[in-house]
Amino acid sequence: MNLRRGRLYGWLAASLPLAGFLAIPLLALALSSYRNRVPISADFLQAIFLSFKTSLLSLAVTVICGTPLALVLARGRFRTRPLLSALVDLPIALPPAAAGIALLLAFGRNGLVSTSLGFTTGAVVAAQTFVSCPFFIRAATSAFESADQHAEESAELDGAGPLTVFFRILVSQTSPQLISGAVTSWARALGEFGATILFAGNLVGKTQTMPLAIYLGFESDFDQAVMLSVVLLGIAFFTILAVRLLTFQGRASKIGE
């Protein structure tokens, strides 16, 4: 339903308080970084590099392991499917601090599955994967559910193997949604804080990611924390813009069909 111009202006006026509430803190952050421009320190540069490294590793784990799970949720018909679906969604609802404690109790030295993963770079990847993978799995599940299965069946009748059908038919059809989900998952991993600080700690050059460096900088070097916050803000902006463009592209292609 499209709103008429008169009604649109009315709803627009009603939306301004919340829109302003969202915009003003971001504007304040950008203005503060412009007024107090300082070079980013070596420790903060390490945090930026580590964040990109671990979040990309987390994304790789999420896509490789999450895609089969999404396919099972989309096409599987079994009694425990709602339970499995709820399990995938739980990390989104779980407070990050609780997620960190859960990971520590599960994979710490005295955990349910005893490992030496805690307070290592691997723990950063694990924490990021735990909190971010649902975003990709949800997007992939939705994409696989809406895909044209007749094309897959036709390819199978023509003699195409399972991997050929999956990559050339299913992934080809759903690539905008899959990429959108992957980008969203990566952005969530990049901004992860609570689970990381509890399971991996805040060790400079080893486990200190950008969010942790911002937290430390708030107490020791506020200008550095502001600059790093703006870096994350810029990444978030372009990530959301890319997701919106991919979503629009996916809808446009379906309309064109």
What share of the chain in percent tops pLDDT 70? Answer: 93
99 lies in the same domain as 113:
yes
What digits encode the pLDDT tens for the residues 57-112?
999 999 999 999 999 999 988 889 999 999 999 999 999 999 999 999 999 999 99
Residues 136 and 208 in one domain: yes
Are residue 61 and residue 102 in the same domain, yes or no? yes
CA–CA distance, 155 with 71 (Å, rounded to integer): 18
> What is the reported pLDDT for 3?
59
Residue 232 shares a structural domain with residue 109: yes
Residues 104 and 199: beta-carbon distance below 8 Å? yes
Q: Residue 9 has which token pair? A: 């202006």
* Distance of alpha carbon 126 from alpha carbon 118, whole angstroms: 9
Do 67 and 176 belong together in one domain? yes
Residue with tokens 């949720």: 73
**Other Cβ atoms closer than 10 A to 83:** 9
Are 98 and 211 in the same domain? yes
Within this chain, do residues 18 and 117 fall inside the same structural domain, yes or no?
no
Average pLDDT over residues 206-232: 89
Q: Both 6 and 123 in a single domain? A: no
Number of domains in the chain: 2
In this predicted structure, the answer to whether residue 256 has a pLDDT above a threshold of 70 is: no
Mean pLDDT of 150-168: 83
Q: What are the DSSP calls for the chain, one per residue?
A: -PPPHHHHHHHHHHHHHHHHHHHHHHHHHHHHHHHT--PPPHHHHHHHHHHHHHHHHHHHHHHHHHHHHHHHHHH---TTHHHHHHHHHHHHHS-HHHHHHHHHHHHSTTSSS--S-TTSHHHHHHHHHHHHHHHHHHHHHHHHHHS-HHHHHHHHHTT--HHHIIIIIIHHHHHHHHHHHHHHHHHHHHT--HHHHHHT---TTTT--HHHHHHHHHHH-HHHHHHHHHHHHHHHHHHHHHHHHHHHHHHHHHHH-
Verify that 24 and 71 share a domain, yes or no: no
pLDDT(8) > 80: no
pLDDT for the residue numbered 242 = 79
Find the domain containing 26 and state its range: 1-35
The two structure tokens encoding residue 159: 């003699």
Based on the domain organization, do 70 and 154 belong to the same domain?
yes
CATH number at residue 115: 1.10.3720.10
If asked whether residues 55 and 12 sit together in one domain, one would say no
Please name the residues in contact with 256: beta carbons below 8 A apart, sequence gap of 6 or more. Answer: none
- This prediction's pTM: 0.86
- C-alpha separations of 116 from 108, 111, 241 in Å: 6, 10, 39
How large is the average pLDDT for residues 237-245?
81
Question: Averaging pLDDT over each range in 44-48, 97-101, 248-252, which range is the top one?
Answer: 97-101
Q: Are residues 29 and 132 both part of a single domain?
A: no
Query: Is 94:102 a contact under the CB 8 Å cutoff?
Result: yes
Alpha-carbon distance of 192 to 232, in angstroms, equals 11
